[in-house]
Amino acid sequence: MSSTKDIREAVEAELTFDPLVDASDISVKNINGDVALNGTVPSYPQYLEAATAAQRVTGVKHVHNHLSVELPPDNYRDDVQLTTAANNALTLNVTVPAGIEATARDGNLTLTGDVDYGSQRAAAELAVGLLIGVRNIKDEIVINFGADPGDVTLLVQDALDRNALILDDSDVEVGTSGGTVTLTGHVRTWAEHDAAIGATWMANGVSEVIDYLVVTG
């Protein structure tokens, strides 16, 4: 699949096919594999799923998710209700460390606090992302940095080498500056891309991941 029209039509078909997405108000633009999603969806999970669906299409190299969430009236929660629900969800989730807090403003959640691992920050987002009334999430959780950059590089490289989705002859390279890890090179699919990013975030001392990976399709 090589033409702009073919990729755009394939993404549109995938969005329509996905039962977790209401694609009726989504428009798709594609320029050489750079796909932009515009329009509205009725929930935050659909906002995330729409991007995931687009990534499944052969030839898609990048997805720019410009969708906005327009909640149905029955799904609206005021700031106090949503803040309470979000903090309850964080407290009840065993994968989220104590001290993570959420505040809501017009359906937009802001997460704050400190964690030791990027996977814990992701767990906090996941804990509140499925709540009714969420329009978007701003993650301001700080990842504590206490590891030597050289150790971080080795930890990430070893994790990538162990991952079954990443080929032994992969040209993915790891660069570390402080707690910031930069990934460069090529991956075949978005599944391989996500595996590399996920493995990187699991390493102790990683506070930021800069993604320069190229999906070849």
pLDDT at 206: 85
Other CB atoms within a 10 A radius of the CB of residue 99 amount to: 11
pLDDT at 99: 95
Which residue in this structure is represented by tokens 């090589």? 2
**CATH-assigned architecture of domain 149-215:** 2-Layer Sandwich (3.30)
Q: Please determine, for residue 1, whether its predicted confidence score (pLDDT) is greater than 60.
A: no
Identical fold, 73-143 and 149-215? yes
Label residues 181-190 b or e (16+ Cβ within 10 Å = b). bbbeeebeeb
pLDDT at 169: 82
Residues 209, 197: Cα–Cα separation, whole Å:
8
pLDDT of 6-39, one tens digit each? 999 999 999 999 999 999 999 999 998 999 999 9
Residues 179, 146: Cα–Cα separation, whole Å:
8
CB-side neighbour CA atoms (13 Å) of 101 = 4
pLDDT at 2: 56
pLDDT of 161-217, one tens digit each? 898 888 888 899 999 888 889 999 999 888 889 999 988 888 877 888 999 999 887
**CATH-assigned architecture of domain 4-69:** 2-Layer Sandwich (3.30)
> Do the beta carbons of residue 189 and residue 57 sit within 8 Å?
no
Residues 58, 6: Cα–Cα separation, whole Å:
10
All structural domains of the chain with their residue ranges: 4-69, 73-143, 149-215
Q: Please determine, for residue 126, whether its predicted confidence score (pLDDT) is greater than 60.
A: yes
**CATH-assigned architecture of domain 73-143:** 2-Layer Sandwich (3.30)
pLDDT at 186: 92
Residues 217, 206: Cα–Cα separation, whole Å:
28
Fill in the amino acid letter for 193. H
pLDDT of 51-105, one tens digit each? 999 999 999 989 999 999 999 999 999 999 999 999 999 999 999 999 999 999 9
Other CB atoms within a 10 A radius of the CB of residue 78 amount to: 11
Closest CA to 63 of 47, 78, 79, 75: 47
Four-CA torsion 73, 79, 81, 86, nearest 10 degrees: 110
pLDDT at 151: 81
Helices (H), the chain: 4-17, 44-55, 79-92, 118-129, 149-162, 190-201
pLDDT band at 144 (very low <50, low <70, confident <90, very high): confident
